[in-house]
Structures are given as C-alpha cells and as structure tokens.
Amino acid sequence: MGDPKKLNIAKYNADLKKLKDEAKVLSTYLKGKKWLVGDKMTLADLVCAHALTPAFQLVLDAGFRKGMSDIA
C-alpha cells in the first residue's frame, strides 16, 4: 500500500482533474440560475455547498474559481 505519508502525485492530479470536471458540469447547470432546484434554497444547495467548501478552500485556485462564478 505504500507509505501513508507519501503523496501519490499522479493520483492527486487525476483526482483534481475529476473534481474540476465535475465542478464545470455543476457550473454549466447553474448558468443563469440562483439555486439548484426551484426559486429558493433547498437541501440540495446546502449539501453541494458543504461538499465543495473544502475544495474551494484547499485545492481550487483563484484562477479556476474566477471561471466558476456560478458555483463559487
């Protein structure tokens, strides 16, 4: 399994790419919308915000966030 303290950069980069691809899909869906479902905040919005907060804080840089204003 390897050293748990050692970063597997290839896996990190693959996972980061997947995260960015999925964020782009969500951003495209939200284009022109304020909420995921209907005209007001729902549990779906809260769950997505909760799930994406660490990614925005830790791995998605300012350049990426700028282009994803619909989810940022």
Q: Is residue 26 part of a domain?
A: yes
Q: Domain tally for the chain?
A: 1
Q: Is residue 2 part of a domain?
A: no
The pTM is what? 0.79
Write the DSSP symbol of residue 71. Answer: T
Q: Is residue 1 part of a domain?
A: no
Write the DSSP symbol of residue 40. Answer: S
**What is the residue range of 27's domain?**
9-67
pLDDT tens for the chain, residues 1 to 72: 567 778 899 999 999 999 999 999 999 999 999 999 999 999 999 999 999 999 999 999 888 888 888 887
Type of residue at 18: K
Q: Is residue 72 part of a domain?
A: no
